[in-house]
Chain A
Amino acid sequence: MSVTSYVFGVAAALLTLFVVIEMLRRRQLRERHAIWWLIAGFLALLIGLFPVILEWAASVVGIDTPTNLVFFISIAILVLVCIQHSAELTTLESKTRALAEDAALHDLRLRKLEALAGVGTERGDS
């Protein structure tokens, strides 16, 4: 491995970690969503600094080309994160659905109250 690729690997991992931590700091990312990216960043940094870990891990699981292990783990993490996001989306959809129903029910109650109080507005009749 050349010095350039060594430096490149470490720099890429550091950049990723920096971006994630900075977004966390500015509250643009919540911890529970950032955890996977943090794990991935630390793994990348670890392997960037000590490539022997990768070679050792690859030989343990019987993979001849160590980079294949990198691809495998990267893709596995991406797939899991995508599934987690889909699940999250489903939860959000059912919550917004309940809120939409609540809003409509409240609007009905409000109309009834306004009618009783005789202060009917033209709201919503556009």
Chain B
Amino acid sequence: MSERLKRTLIVMPAFNEEEVVGDVVREVLRTLPGVHCLVVNDGSSDSTTAVARAAGATVAELPYNLGVGGAMRLGFRYAIEQGFDNVVQLDSDGQHDPRSVPALLDALDRADLVIGARFAGEGDYEVRGPRKWAMRFLAATLSRTAGTTLTDTTSGFKAMGPRTVSLFAQHYPAEYLGDTIEALVIAARAGCTVTQIPVSMRPRAGGKPSHNPFKAAAYLGRAFLALGFALIRPPASLRQEAASV
């Protein structure tokens, strides 16, 4: 296992997370010995960089806010540059349990992209109302695109194998919701196999969530838009790896 951890880069997008990111980094490094942890500070105005660095993470600083998608593509590019095989995306707010990472990595044996699904039996994470219906619809549509049953398509807890890493280093979208919905469509249509395993979700350890319940309606609309456009765009191919970024 630790052989695999050594070839894995944990990428944590962080935006104003000084309250929690230190603890999360320490927990990751303690739980997953040998793993390399890259925190991408996405133009935070607080001391996220200093806190994460003190906790032992490598910290990349974007000059201004790009969104989760921009931060993640940086992570994928760094992984390729440094020769890591796998990338695991993990939130820096403490909601993702690092103890689930080995299971995600094991599942990479049979898939190129593994989603840590929050409703697949473990934990008690729940959403209600329009957001729930939207997630259901998204799950149904994306399951068809990916050719496998997916129940949680907006999870930020994911593991990517080598094929997906090189695809995403070029084609990870910066659009709103692009890091979840469109990324899955891009991967599935480029021929990457997708699967999910159940993970439990913890409450935020501190700091503020970036979306609040009042934005649920906007979320719904934009999720459908994102999905619609993702499906009608020309598919990206895995072959053009040598092309410029």
Contact = CB atoms under 8 A, between A and B. Distances in A.
Contact of A101 (B49, B50, B53, B74): B74
25 contacts: A94-B174, A97-B66, A97-B70, A100-B62, A100-B63, A100-B66, A101-B62, A101-B66, A101-B70, A101-B74, A103-B62, A104-B60, A104-B61, A104-B62, A104-B63, A104-B74, A105-B60, A105-B74, A105-B77, A105-B78, A105-B81, A107-B60, A108-B60, A125-B49, A125-B53
A126 to B, nearest CB: 8
Contacts of B229: none
B214 interface: no
A124 interface: yes
Interface of B: 40, 49-50, 53, 58, 60-64, 66, 70, 73-74, 77-78, 81, 174, 245
Contacts of A101: 62, 66, 70, 73-74, 77
Interface in A3-32: none
A98 interface: yes
Q: Binding site of A, secondary structure by majority: helix, strand, loop or mixed? A: helix
Query: Range of interface residues on chain A?
Result: 10 to 19
A103 B81 CA distance: 14
Interface of A: 93-94, 97-98, 100-101, 103-105, 107-108, 124-125
Contacts of B49: 124-125
Given A105-B74, A124-B49, A97 B63 contact: no
A99 to B, nearest CB: 9
B245 A107 contact: no
Contacts of A107: 60-61
